Amino acid sequence: MDIVIKNNILDVILRFENKRIAIIGDLMLDRYLWGSAIRISPEAPVPVVDIDQESNRLGGSANVANNIITLGGIAYPIGLIGNDHNGNIILELMNSDKFITDGIIKDPNLPTTVKTRVIANNQHVVRIDRENKHTISEKSYQLLFNFIEANIKSFDAIIFEDYNKGVITKELIKNVINLAKKHSIPVTVDPKFDNFFEFVNVDVFKPNRKEAEEAIGQKIKSDEDLFKVMQSIQRKIDCANLLLTRGEKGMALMEKNGEITLISTRARNIADVSGAGDTVISTLTMALVSGATPKEAAVISNFAAGIVCEEVGVVPIRKDILINKIQEELTK
């Protein structure tokens, strides 16, 4: 990497402090059961995991919000939780004045989404999901949009973090994007399948390879395939920048002028890719509102993703660790 680019991205990261980011999406609780497996069950050919520790972490769009906080920003998580114990745990985990939680609505008809991961000997054994994927009610939609509309001038950027759990609807997407354009607020998107082509004219659209392949109906087996898929997506949604994450192959960035940049992965020892996409969209957005070019923002988010992939479970990226990682590169 060019020395000028390295110094530029360090300057950008130092400007992350107190950037105000709204995160619209599916709030979840990630529960971890940690233990060891040293025997097979006599009842079925499955390991018996002796649990010795349990922990809760912010998941889904709440993890994106947590990444914003650990990068030095102020997060406005916007979405629904149930009026239940697990919903209260999410609010307790957001016990910081940098979380603005007024945009979190308690819906008595909706259970809080919980993903429980069983980890044995630092290996992910199984995941158990408890969720409701029904589209939100008109009342809940109106409460969410009213909050966004009332606070739009407070946001430096808006992130859509869609997990297809029902919070993000076509109506919400259209109205929020129009509102953001009216106030010159950048919008970035981490999509899923259901609303993939609804996010028209956003600043950054960030699918992963699987999502892109399924949306376009073409497998990416070569760089030529990659370019064709990216061009097809860009034509359909007219996004300013398209960032496609490619797992172990890193990322590909297509800018508005059609230029494509391939960025190699920075992960050294991949332990768990859970939450890497959350880290990418949060770091990318923070970089853009801190003065980075799209290419610089992609490079910074690629470093961040490489760091969190070396940890077991969903963990947010810390600004100090990100800076240290990039400074290591400066000395090479």
Indicate which residues carry an active-site annotation. Answer: 278
Strand order in the sheet with 27-40: 47-60, 27-40, 113-120, 123-130
What is the SS3 assignment for 260?
A: strand
Distance of CA 114 to the CA centre of its chain: 17
CA angle 226, 251, 68 (to 5 degrees): 140
Residue 67 in tokens = 């990444």
Q: For residue 153, how many other CB atoms are within 10 A of its CB?
A: 7
Rounded distance between C-alpha atoms, residue 287 and residue 53, angstroms? 36
What is the SS3 assignment for 255?
A: coil
**For residue 151, what are the CA distances in angstroms to 140, 173, 183, 185, 269?**
17, 17, 11, 12, 41
Q: Which residues neighbour 7 within 8 Å (Cβ) at sequence distance 6 or greater?
A: 330
Rounded distance between C-alpha atoms, residue 56 and residue 34, angstroms? 11
Rounded distance between C-alpha atoms, residue 46 and residue 125, angstroms? 10
173 near 196, Cβ under 8 Å? Answer: no
Rounded distance between C-alpha atoms, residue 6 and residue 54, angstroms? 40
Rounded distance between C-alpha atoms, residue 12 and residue 8, angstroms? 6
H or E segment to which residue 243 belongs: strand 241-245
Which pairing describes strands 47-60 and 27-40: parallel, antiparallel, or unpaired?
antiparallel
